[in-house]
Every structure is written in C-alpha cells, then in structure tokens.
Chains A and B, each alone.
Chain A
Amino acid sequence: MSEMKFKTLVGLEIHAELATASKMFCGCTTTYGGDVNTHCCPICLGLPGTLPVVNKRAIEFAIQTGLAFNAKIAKKSKMDRKNYFYPDLVKAFQISQYDMPLCEHGHVDIETASGKKRIGIERIHIEEDTGKSLHAEDGSSLLDYNRCGVPLIEIVTLPDMSSAEEAGAFLELLKSTLEYIEVSDCKMEQGSLRCDVNVNVVSEDGTVKSNIAEIKNLNSFKAAMKAIEFETKRHIELLERGENTLKETRRWDDAKNETFHMRTKEFVQDYRYFPEPDIVDFEIDADWIERLELELPELPEARKHRFISAYGIPEYDAGVLTSTRQMADYFETLVNSVGDGKLASNWIMTELMRRLKDEGLELGALRFTVEQFAELIAMVKDGTLNQNAAKKVFRRLFEEGGEPKAIVEAEGLVQTSDTGLIKDTVDSVLSANPQSVEDYKNGKDRAFGFLVGQVMKASKGKANPQVVNELLAEALKNL
C-alpha cells in the first residue's frame, strides 16, 4: 500500500437562535420552555389567511453578526420559501433566504497551538426555527410548536478548517462573539446553538479525495471535534483501501463515540426555493448599518489587546479573561475597585476560576459580590492579610458568603507586623529547634525555610512573612 498523506477539510454550518423577545413573524414570546404549545398564534401555526410581518430586531441582529464577522452586508435582500414536508414545519415551507443572504464573505481569525489562521465565512442568513417533535413509544410523533417561528441565523463557513482542534477554536470564538454582541444566548443544551459539520479528506497532491459527509446531531463542541476525528480516520481508511465515502448525512452517536449513516445525498435536495410573496424586499442603507455598528460592544479580540496594554497582564491571562463577556465585565469591575490589574487578574485566574471550575458554577451564582471580593483583595494589598490568611477568607466567602472584614475578625486573621511580638516568637522557635539552627550554620539553607514555617505556625499564620524573614535572618546572624 502506498503511503499517502491526507489533509482534512472541515466546514461548519451553525444555527443560532436570536435573542429577540418575540418570534420572527409574530408577537409570540421566544422564551425557552413553557408548557407545550402555549407560545403559538395563528401566524406561527401557519393557519390560512395569516400574514407574516418581519421582526426588525431579528434583521438587525443578523446584520450585527455580519459586522462582527467582517462580512459584507447586502444592500438588497429578501426572504425565500424553502419547501419540504416534515411535521415540525407547520406551513410545509420554511421562510428562509436563498440567493440574497443578509451577509456574505466574512472571516474571523482563530488561534490554535499551530498558530493563527483565517477562517472564511461564506454567508449568514436569517430564517425561522421549526417546532420540536418528540417520538412516542407507540410509533406516533408529538409536536410542540413553541419554538416554531423563533428567528435563527445560519452561519456557513468555507471548508477552511483542517483539524478538530481548529473547528473547536472556531466554535469557541463564534460562541463568545455571539454572546458578546448579545444576539444569541448560545445555550447548546437548550438548542439555541446547533452545529452541523461537513468533512472530507484530500491527498496532499490533490489527486485523491473523499466525498463530503455531513454530520448532524452534534450536541456539544466536544462532540463536533470527536466526530471530525472519527470521520477523518474513516475517510482515510476507505481511501487507502481504494474505496470512497458516500455522499451522505450521518448522525453522531454520543454514547458510542461514532457516526452512523442517516441518509444518502445522491441528489441535491430539491427545495423548490422561490421568493416569499408575503414579505417585501429589504433595502439596507449605510446609515442603518452605521447605527448598528455603533451599537456593537468591544469585541473579544480588541478587548483582549486592551487588557494587555491597559492592565499589564500576560496575553494568556487576557485571553482567558475575555473568553466570555461576563468574565471580562467581572474583571473590569474588580479592577475598578481594586485599582491593580495584575492583582485582580491573579485572584480571578487562580482562586476564583479554580473554585468555579471545581464546583461547576457560573459567575452569576457566586455568594459574594464583586465589591466584597475587591475588599478582600484590598486587605492583601495594604498588608492587613497575608496570602494564606486571604485564601482562608476567600474560601469562606466562596462557600458561605459574608463580609470579608467580619470574616477576618471572626477568624482572627489580621496579619501582624508587630516586630516585638514576632521577635519573641522567633526567639522561642530558635531555642526550641537547636538542631535546625545547627544545620543552618552548617550551610543547610533548607533549615531556614523550616524555621520560617515554625514561626508562621506559632503565630497561627498571622505574622507578616516578610517581617519574619528579616527578623529570623537577623537573629541567626547574631547567634
């Protein structure tokens, strides 16, 4: 068998529900959940005689998404009918966009271990979501149309990603951007962000390539990445055997960690698109686009660079702190109170994030306010607390909440820099540990650390470590 090298081509199709209050063409709420079939009206049920009226905010959110992804915004656009039969689609057609999407030709730069890479965005269009079908055990399907008519954007990338890692990085960036500009809440577990993957492989000399497989039912970014890895392997194995993949749609099985055949795509799906006769054309002028651009907040990449220069924090930290808008806002509020970017960043990056991760908590669920957190950090800054004592207070804050000052008092944690007091402790530790003193004199530096530890312990952790160091060194010198 010849040793052929292959590269993977990955393109993504992402559907995100827009965070409008009402649906795309009617005033029904978009709130997730609710009793089945209680967010429905004659329009979103597709009853005869009703007419759709476009939600302006949905169009604006789509344009803002385009702007955030450096896309060209169409001057003229329109809605089209996509015709197909499925019970989750009440009208037997979906109002979508075909040949004149709102945004085209965008791009975004991702960063992975293998460096920076630009990923092209082919188009961003707007459409309505479908209802939800639950398959009953008796073989029937039960339909809930609460979601039917919720505005969606579909984002289609070029096949510019060449690994699961790159696709993962793109998806993370996409999600954080949509969250930043507040056009979608991106909750995969609630289906407000969904992703399909197109994969194939091509030999490095370009002579052999597999047919594109589309993977559906990816309920997490991790699943998308695992599916890409699985497919890459499957495609290469088939090509190496002299076979090829089918042009097909496959489904990801999360339990088995593999994809399986769903349907073949021998024919291009014939949706008989035609212009939606009930909705007139859109004309998007430069003023409107400019107004929407002004509404956009600072995007993650720009904010990251500002954090680096304004607060003097490392690039890695700035990247983590700006990965969600919520975290970036939290950091900036904390900095404003603490007045020290590095200190604020260190506390978030170490103590806070570690606990959040361990407990699987979100920032919103914290038991203490950002002001209380700032108060704690201020006590470290002014020397009231040493690092160990501060960590103790943080633990209390995190687990029970409360006022940092009250916790410090209740636990008697105020750091003492009282030289007289510390000196007494140093003396008694030295007389209690003659062997260590002897070791120190014989050049064993480790003995010094041990003695510092003993003094700290004797002071119940309250002594200022710096003062301890100084006094101990002095005492040893004078012995």
Chain B
Amino acid sequence: MAITIKDVEHVAKLARLEFEENEILAFTEKLDAIVGYVEMLNAVDVENVDPTYHVLPVKNRFREDEIQASLERDAVLTNAPDRRGGCFRVPRVVE
C-alpha cells in the first residue's frame, strides 16, 4: 500500500477534517487506489523532459498595473457570517 492510515490522518488533520475510523479506512483504500493508478506514470522515461506545471501552451499572462473600482463595503460583507464595524467577525483563532 502506498497510502497508509497515518497518511490519511495527517492529511485530514491538515485539512481540519474529522473522520470516524471506518471512514479513514475507506479513504485509505480509495486514495491508495488513486495514487497507485497515477504511479503507472513512473514507468515512463522522463529524463529529458521538463516538468509540466500547466498543459496550456501559454506563458506570461499579465495585466498592467491599473486601478479598477473595488466593491462597495456592503457588497464586500454580503457573505460575512457576522460583521462588526465594517469588518468580518469570526471566532478568534489562537496561533
């Protein structure tokens, strides 16, 4: 197995997700199958091939440094779960 229960627990923790034991087992199997499938690529000789970060045949897509109008604050806060004094209000996160 390429993916272990520990890997799944670790990734779940990083993603702030909690799972039951049977779910973790199920994910381990599924992820292992996916990674196993992708590992087929290891059979290909890529010695002289640059890594492909994007499949699009374009590069250097930029915009000029020009200011555009921002949103009105009410619009900015439309999706805020809670607000105060023009700010998004959230539970305090202690580092």
Residue in A38, A59, A142 whose beta carbon sits within 8 Å of that of B88 in the complex: A142
| Cβ of B76 under 8 Å from chain A | yes
| Cβ of A87 under 8 Å from chain B | yes
- The complex places the Cα of A38 from the Cα of B67 at a distance, in Å, of 13
| Cβ of A244 under 8 Å from chain B | no
Q: Using known A-B contacts A36-B87, A78-B53, determine if residue A56 contacts B63 with beta carbons closer than 8 Å.
A: yes
Residues of B within 8 A of A134 (CB): 87
Comparing A106-114, A274-282, A372-380, the segment that makes contact with chain B is A274-282
- The complex places the Cα of A140 from the Cα of B87 at a distance, in Å, of 11
- The complex places the Cα of A27 from the Cα of B91 at a distance, in Å, of 30
Q: How large is the interface on A (under 10, 10 to 19, 20 to 34, 35 or more residues)?
A: 35 or more
Q: Decide if A283 touches B59 in the complex (CB within 8 Å).
A: yes
Q: Decide if A87 touches B54 in the complex (CB within 8 Å).
A: no
- Contact residues of A: prevailing secondary structure: loop
Residues of A within 8 A of B54 (CB): 275, 277, 280-281
Q: Decide if B95 touches A263 in the complex (CB within 8 Å).
A: yes
Q: How large is the interface on B (under 10, 10 to 19, 20 to 34, 35 or more residues)?
A: 35 or more
Q: Decide if B68 touches A28 in the complex (CB within 8 Å).
A: yes
Q: Decide if B93 touches A56 in the complex (CB within 8 Å).
A: no
Interface string of B44-73 (1 = CB under 8 A from A): 000000000110101111111111111111
| Cβ of A360 under 8 Å from chain B | no
| Cβ of B1 under 8 Å from chain A | no
Residue in A21, A85, A136 whose beta carbon sits within 8 Å of that of B16 in the complex: A85
| Cβ of A39 under 8 Å from chain B | yes
Residues of A within 8 A of B90 (CB): 87, 140-141, 143
Comparing A40-48, A116-124, A179-187, A325-333, the segment that makes contact with chain B is A40-48
Residues of B within 8 A of A135 (CB): 92
Known interface pairs A41-B71, A42-B71, A270-B10; 15 further A-B residue pairs with C-beta atoms within 8 A, sorted by A's residue number:
A27-B66, A36-B87, A37-B73, A37-B87, A40-B70, A41-B70, A54-B61, A55-B62, A139-B91, A140-B92, A141-B91, A141-B93, A143-B90, A280-B54, A280-B56
| Minimum-distance CB pairs A-B, first 8 | A27-B68, A56-B62, A142-B87, A57-B65, A143-B88, A275-B53, A36-B86, A53-B63
